[in-house]
Amino acid sequence: MSHSTLHDIANRVGVTPVTVSRVLSGTYKAKRAGALKRAEQIRQVAVELGYRVNVHARAMRHGRLGNIALVMSKDPARSLLHECELTALHDALLDEQMNLVIARLDDKTLESESDLPRVLTEYAVDGMLINYKKNIPPMLEQLIERHRIPAVWIARKRKHDATYYAYRNSIKKAVTDQIKAGHRRIAMVFKLNPNHVSTDHYSETDPRAGYEKAMLDAGLKPQCLQVRWNVDELSQLTALLTRKNRPTLLLTRDQHTLLPVLTAAYHVGVKVPDDLQIMLIGHGTRLIPATDLKHLRYDYDQLAEAAVKLLVEKIKAPQQLLKSRPIPLCW
């Protein structure tokens, strides 16, 4: 039977359609053995009859569609999203019985007084998770607030309606712990492309601020090296590792920094991790064994869960500003 209903299941089991609805929606809180057995029977009959939830009827009853749009730029560099981050968002929404819809939009739509609000209806979604990390269209935030669109920003540092990684405090604590463990010469290396242009994203400033604060609080001099790839990067790193006060611990946010660092260390006879330890901040790598690397990593699941829960609250009260939730990095 391809179009079975709640009544069909109820008639087969001998219960009311209301009971069937509660069981299949997960709101049936049975405790007694007989009730538990009946609930399992209802589920089995639903499978046998090929029952499918009528999403349109559910939307009319609850005033919710159960879909969330992940808003991204058509320029990949502005909405970079790793597979593990996408998976975490999908699973967090699934826990809330919601579906993920990808919406790749151009700036014209995101800055249009009429087009942006229509995204909710055209994509049939209840709210938006906004994954814009660089060069955000200037009007986007204003339109969201003006039209009271339920939206939460991912990995963007804002006072309200956002979840983001707490780089500054996390790195400050990590560096402070390493100083207490005996490291006195700690350097931080930043990778810059030859045509690098600074953005307004906090990930370009907060990691360095956290590192420098920890060093200065301990009475130590920060060592920051900005390396422009393909522009004598090996000579820059070699010079760093042959200083009289060469670092014993090196921090970097970019996994692509690791290979040039390892190459430079090999050339000057510095052994990793015996002579030089490396702390990678953020995404992981397979370049060197985990045992040879300190990894202060992103907690994808915690960020996704916080973003989804914040958005669920926002959907209930779009006009309310909700305090943003910083997510600490973890080992």
Q: Is a pLDDT exceeding 60 seen at residue 203?
A: yes
Q: Please report the pLDDT score of residue 69 as a whole number.
A: 94
Q: For residue 50, how far is the Cα from the chain centroid?
A: 36
| pLDDT tens digits along 268-288 | 999 999 999 999 999 887 766
Dihedral in degrees, nearest 10, Cα atoms 195, 254, 72, 96? -170
**Claim to verify: residue 288 and residue 311 sit in the same structural domain:** no
**How confident is the prediction for the chain on average, in pLDDT?**
87
**Claim to verify: residue 44 and residue 75 sit in the same structural domain:** no
Confidence of residue 227 (pLDDT cuts 50, 70, 90): confident
Which of 66 and 169 is assigned the larger pLDDT? 169
27: in domain? yes
Confidence of residue 1 (pLDDT cuts 50, 70, 90): very low
Query: Which of helix, strand or coil describes residue 191?
Result: strand
Q: Which of 57-61, 116-120, 157-161, 216-220 has the lowest mean pLDDT?
A: 57-61
Q: Please report the pLDDT score of residue 304 as a whole number.
A: 96
**Claim to verify: residue 98 and residue 146 sit in the same structural domain:** yes
Q: Please report the pLDDT score of residue 102 as a whole number.
A: 93
256: in domain? yes
314: in domain? yes
**Claim to verify: residue 125 and residue 242 sit in the same structural domain:** no
43: in domain? yes
**Claim to verify: residue 234 and residue 187 sit in the same structural domain:** yes
1: in domain? no
58: in domain? no
Query: Which of helix, strand or coil describes residue 281?
Result: strand
Domain count, the chain: 3
**For position 18, which CATH number holds?**
1.10.260
Instruction: Give CA separation, 140 vs 74, 106, 113, 313, in Å.
Output: 15, 11, 10, 21
**Claim to verify: residue 171 and residue 266 sit in the same structural domain:** yes
13: in domain? yes
Q: What is the pTM of this model?
A: 0.78
What is d(CA 118, CA 113) in angstroms, rounded to the nearest whole number? 10
Which of 5 and 216 is assigned the larger pLDDT? 216
**Claim to verify: residue 248 and residue 147 sit in the same structural domain:** no
Which of 154 and 46 is assigned the larger pLDDT? 154
Confidence of residue 37 (pLDDT cuts 50, 70, 90): confident
**Claim to verify: residue 25 and residue 37 sit in the same structural domain:** yes
- Residue 202 half-sphere exposure, CB side, CA atoms within 13 Å? 16
Q: Structural domain of residue 267, as residue ranges?
A: 167-297
| pLDDT tens digits along 246-264 | 999 999 988 888 888 999 9
Confidence of residue 303 (pLDDT cuts 50, 70, 90): very high
**Claim to verify: residue 103 and residue 84 sit in the same structural domain:** yes
**Claim to verify: residue 24 and residue 124 sit in the same structural domain:** no
**Claim to verify: residue 70 and residue 155 sit in the same structural domain:** yes
**For position 119, which CATH number holds?**
3.40.50.2300
